Amino acid sequence: MAPTSTAFPAPGSDPAAAESATTGLRERKKQRTREALVDAAHRLFLSQGYAGTTVDEIAAAVDVSQRTFFRYFANKEEAALAVMSDAEDHFIELLRARPAGEPPLPAMREAICATWRDFSASHHPAGRGVTAALELVQLIETTPTLLAAHLRRSADQERRVAEILAAREGVDPAADLRPRLLAAVFGAAVRTAHLAWTAGAAARPAEDDGPEGLIAVIQHHLDQLGPALAADWSDTARGI
Amino acid sequence: MAPTSTAFPAPGSDPAAAESATTGLRERKKQRTREALVDAAHRLFLSQGYAGTTVDEIAAAVDVSQRTFFRYFANKEEAALAVMSDAEDHFIELLRARPAGEPPLPAMREAICATWRDFSASHHPAGRGVTAALELVQLIETTPTLLAAHLRRSADQERRVAEILAAREGVDPAADLRPRLLAAVFGAAVRTAHLAWTAGAAARPAEDDGPEGLIAVIQHHLDQLGPALAADWSDTARGI
DNA sequence: GAGATTATGTCAGCCGCTGACATCAGGCAA
DNA sequence: TTGCCTGATGTCAGCGGCTGACATAATCTC
């Protein structure tokens, strides 16, 4: 079984049609099973909790054996984090597509915002995507096992990002610390933004106003990176 | 069974004597068992790998039942990360002790360097501490499960650090993003430094020259935080 | 339609981890 | 010293995540 193809489609395209044209029945079936498993897992995790859901339950919900589940996902976490994983792949693609002259941090900033915009537009119509993302991020942050797995994935992601940055800027990734550092710092800022977003979500109205709320939070965090590193934390030094 | 007391002692003090004076036989025995388990785990993990070592083996090496192991550690990872955990607690103490007027980033810088100096001075004589630390960090970085658990612990650590920073600087931790951001960025930089250190260790002579090598790597990474965030990555802009 | 591929089901089994209960050792007071 | 009380340990049974091996059934290729 080949590894699943990456990311979600660009908005406007029809993924199902494009897929069935290029691939056979076997591949389509596999894709459907995989999506069904992710869906069932997501639903069960949210209603019963992550630890309270057994792999057997997920498999049974899709009418598939437990062994089959583990042929699609290396472990229980992978099923929960599949959507995040797609988003990360999509971010990489968008970052690679940024214009060459753009400085590194702005390039990443644009890529992350576009990632969330594309995310909420695809897969789930009518903005359901952002609500689903919120639920998922909250699930991750409140489940130690999932948080651990997610952070480990993020570390891999940062390695990929560092390589792209080094190539973009034409520096030696072995000698120059800046690519790895910026990738790590960016990852830290985005994760902190996710935390703030999920924490604030309880206070906000429950309606889904698209990805702009989350994007604003991320932008705000990136803006505060400089002030946070500054020696002077008096309010006059902060960009308020 | 009460949670184990924190951190390693200040250099110069005699922990065993101080302990036996204040606590009874029961407590001392528990402490010895715990240390023996950590030691055995460390040794077995390094020789057979983490996944290749069962909890039964560790327990058997200390002549203790598997059930007892799980009364000391919530899971297998915790035994592997116990030393790191002590170091993190010690860092928190040192950060709390930094003078009030000091800016946040320098305070953290001094605290992390002192943490490693104290670490190599205590527990393991003649610099064995740093070699042990190197082996441990390498084990963590090369073992996905351990890396995940370690990163999760780091996230907790960052929350604690953010609270201390907010209190030090007298800002509102709920409204001001800087404490959480700086804690996260600092954590990211230190982890990146650890990675670079372990990667470079293969090329360096195997002799243990104390913690100064690692400390220099960390300092260098902290120095490069500003340049990494800068828009201009030309070498003239970098602080070489 | 026959044969090669590949996904799936079944089964057995290891290992991490936990609750329940019995047992034993250290702490404490009479 | 004796004897009770608290708490650490051992034993046992059992669940759930995860894997290898093999048989079966579905798709693909010609």
Q: Which of B178, B196, B233 sits opposite A228 (nearest CB)?
A: B178
Token digits of residue A103:
């400085």
Decide if A183 contacts A165 (C-beta within 8 A).
yes
Q: How confident is the model at residue B133 (pLDDT cuts 50, 70, 90)?
A: confident
Residues from chain B that touch A185, judged by Cβ atoms under 8 A, are 185, 188-189, 225, 228-229
Given an 8 Å threshold on Cβ–Cβ distance, is A152 in contact with B147?
A: yes
Domain ranges of chain A: 77-229
Residue B178 has pLDDT above 90, yes or no: yes
Helix (H, G, I), strand (E, B) or coil at B11: coil
Decide if B119 contacts B87 (C-beta within 8 A).
yes
Greatest alpha-carbon pair distance for chain A in Å reads 63
Which pLDDT score, from 0 to 100, does residue B99 have?
97
Token digits of residue A147:
């948080």
Q: How confident is the model at residue B123 (pLDDT cuts 50, 70, 90)?
A: low
Alpha-carbon distance B107 to nearest alpha carbon in chain A (angstroms): 10
For strand D, which nucleotides have at least one atom less than 7 Å from a protein CB? 7-12, 16-21, 27-29
Could you read off the pLDDT of A170-207 as tens digits, one per residue?
A: 999 999 999 999 999 999 999 999 999 998 877 776 66
Token digits of residue B141:
């970085």
Which pLDDT score, from 0 to 100, does residue A206 have?
60
Q: From residue B177, how far is each of A82, A116, B104, B167 by CA, in Å?
A: 29, 21, 14, 13
Query: Read out DSSP for A84-118?
Result: HHHHHHHHHHHHHTS-TTS-HHHHHHHHHHHHHHH
Decide if B226 contacts A229 (C-beta within 8 A).
yes
Token digits of residue A52:
């309270």
CATH homologous superfamily for the domain B15-226: Tetracycline Repressor, domain 2 (1.10.357.10)
Q: What is the distance between the alpha carbons of residues B85 and A47, in angstroms, rounded to a whole number?
A: 34
User: Which long-range contacts does B138-141 make (Cβ < 8 Å, 24+ apart)?
Assistant: B138/B198, B138/B201, B139/B45, B139/B46, B139/B50, B139/B80, B140/B80, B140/B81, B140/B84, B141/B194, B141/B195, B141/B198
The architecture in CATH of the region A77-229 reads: Orthogonal Bundle (1.10)
Which pLDDT score, from 0 to 100, does residue A30 have?
95
Window B:144-163, CB contacts with A under 8 Å: 144, 147-149, 151-152, 154-155
DSSP-assigned letter for residue A4: P
Distance, CA of A202 to chain centre: 21
Nearest nt (C1') to B27 (CA)?
Answer: C26
Count of residues making up chain B: 240
Which pLDDT score, from 0 to 100, does residue A4 have?
45
Which pLDDT score, from 0 to 100, does residue B44 have?
98
Q: Which of A76, A65, A69 is nearest to A34 (CA)?
A: A69
What percentage of chain B reaches a pLDDT higher than 70?
Answer: 84
Decide if B168 contacts B182 (C-beta within 8 A).
no
Token digits of residue B5:
């007391």
Q: Which residues of chain A are under the pLDDT cut of 50?
A: 1-7, 12-21
Given an 8 Å threshold on Cβ–Cβ distance, is A196 in contact with B180?
A: yes
Decide if B237 contacts B224 (C-beta within 8 A).
no
Residue B53 has pLDDT above 80, yes or no: yes
Residue B21 has pLDDT above 50, yes or no: no
Averaged pLDDT of chain B: 88
Could you read off the pLDDT of B54-112 as tens digits, one per residue?
A: 999 999 999 999 999 999 999 999 999 999 999 999 999 999 999 999 999 999 999 99
